[in-house]
């Protein structure tokens, strides 16, 4: 269940991530309202794109793309674009991760990603783990 009932609650969460995760040195995340019930969250390094709605009484992620960069190389990304021809992705459909080598076509399941809960903590924890 999504802990955020409003855009204001999610905005506070986004802008205080550095206080919750010690590995975050700085953040370029910006949450921009795009109408009465729509907002877009974007940022760099961990490139974040979330299309958000909240009119239904709970904040939902309608679409997303998360890219992780190391220096100038994209090392993996997540998206919910359906791939019904790839049966091993069915376990987390439509959520999946693109990984090296052949990052565009090499996809693996992405457990934990959701539309009805924030994905940022999972992504940040994954990055922190990989930095160790």
Share of the chain above pLDDT 70, in %: 96
Whole-model pTM: value is: 0.84
Structure tokens at 38: 């729509």
CA 127 to each of CA 9, 24, 98: distance values in angstroms, whole numbers, following the listed order: 24, 10, 15
Confidence of residue 3 (pLDDT cuts 50, 70, 90): confident
Q: What pLDDT is attached to residue 35?
A: 82
Q: 65-96, pLDDT tens digit by residue?
A: 999 988 888 999 999 999 999 999 999 999 99
| Residue 40 near residue 52 (C-beta atoms within 8 A) | yes
Confidence of residue 48 (pLDDT cuts 50, 70, 90): very high
Share of the chain above pLDDT 90, in %: 60
* Angle at the Cα of 4 from the Cα atoms of 54 and 112, rounded to 5 degrees: 100
Which residue from 132, 125, 97 is spatially nearest to 24, judged by alpha carbons?
A: 125
pLDDT average, residue stretch 28-46: 84
As beta bridge partners, residue 73 has 70
Structure tokens at 85: 């021809």
Q: 50-63, pLDDT tens digit by residue?
A: 999 987 678 899 99
As beta bridge partners, residue 76 has 68, 99
């Amino acid at each position: 269940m999504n802990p955020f009932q409003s855009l204001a609650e999610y905005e506070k969460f986004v802008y205080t991530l550095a206080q919750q995760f010690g590995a975050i040195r700085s953040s370029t995340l910006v949450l921009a309202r795009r109408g009465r019930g729509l907002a877009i969250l974007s940022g760099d390094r961990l490139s974040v794109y979330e299309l958000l709605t909240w009119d239904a009484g709970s904040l939902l992620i309608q679409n997303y793309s998360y890219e992780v960069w190391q220096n100038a190389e994209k090392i993996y990304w997540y998206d919910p674009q359906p791939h019904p021809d790839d049966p091993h992705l069915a376990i987390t459909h439509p959520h999946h991760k693109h990984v090296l080598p052949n990052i565009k076509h090499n996809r693996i399941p992405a457990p934990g990603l959701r539309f009805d809960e924030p994905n940022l903590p999972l992504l940040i924890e994954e990055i922190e783990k990989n930095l160790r």
